[in-house]
Amino acid sequence: MATIYSHKDNNIRNTWILMLTFFIVVIAFGWVISTYFGNPSLLYVAVIISILMNIGSYWFSDKVVIKMTGAKLVERNHYPELWNSLENLSITAGLPMPKLYIIEDNAPNAFATGRNPEHSAVAVTTGLLKILNKTELEGVLAHELSHIGNRDMLIGTVVVVLVGFVAILSDIFLRSAQFGGNNKEGNKIQAIAFIAGIILAIFAPLIARLIHFAISRKREFLADASGVLLTRYPEGLATALQKISAYVGPMQRPSHATAHLFISDPFDTEDKKGFFTFIDKAFSTHPPVKERVSALLGNKV
């Protein structure tokens, strides 16, 4: 029977398989472009721009996300029970306590952000506090702490760099293809590279996004499993996820840029509509709640 331990190991392995696939897509695209144009300097420029942009966003990610979500910093005397729960779980996890934020929103949700455990934050909505009991809330907090402990922001940043890199390469190729390549090895190789480049320029950004979403879903499964290992009570998080998914309606300030950070899709999709098609699942940053609950409780997915 599958357990939270096997799910954790499987999702760590699957995440790195997806990352490797991502790198292969990027390398293949880069090779085609360099072959066609015979000018590797274009790749170097694209890499430098993409890395600089995304390192900047990673370095200031916590401040940007907090601003976008409208979260407000709180102290112990504002929400003592919530504060104590987060503090105790942080000690158990061996992590410094993140800054605690509250979002005034009836939709139950939560997220974690920060470039490392020393510069991290956890935010929960007022709607979440209204519907969850203590053990359920601890399950959610443990899930968010697991994102911090698992360095998901780092992995997410690497993925964003790769997605941005693919998008830049695609744009460079499509805009420059009209001027022809500089390959000196013959028109045949150049023609093959051109056809491959056009195909990759069209489909590579889509493939990159799909892999990005797949990695996000794997990290959610991993944070669920890691959170349960922290609380030793899978029913708490499982029940919390069921209650969260039962809420109908999106958050007040949903954003596609931050959607993957939340414990539940802030756009009110998937399970709440009663169905989850293959296309919906492929383009979602979150796995279906039923699958997450089944994995937490040790049932076959």
Q: Does residue 94 contact residue 148 with C-beta atoms inside 8 Å? A: no
Q: Does residue 233 contact residue 107 with C-beta atoms inside 8 Å? A: no
Q: Does residue 23 contact residue 177 with C-beta atoms inside 8 Å? A: no
Residue 123 backbone phi and psi in degrees, to 5: -125, 140
| CA-based torsion, 55, 56, 58, 59: positive or negative | positive
Catalytic site residue 185?
Answer: no
Q: Does residue 97 contact residue 119 with C-beta atoms inside 8 Å? A: no
Of 104, 118, 138, 144, which one is the catalytic site residue?
Answer: 144
Query: What order of strands is seen across the sheet that includes strand 119-125?
Result: 72-73, 99-103, 119-125, 110-116
Q: Does residue 86 contact residue 112 with C-beta atoms inside 8 Å? A: no
Q: List, by residue number, the catalytic residues.
A: 144
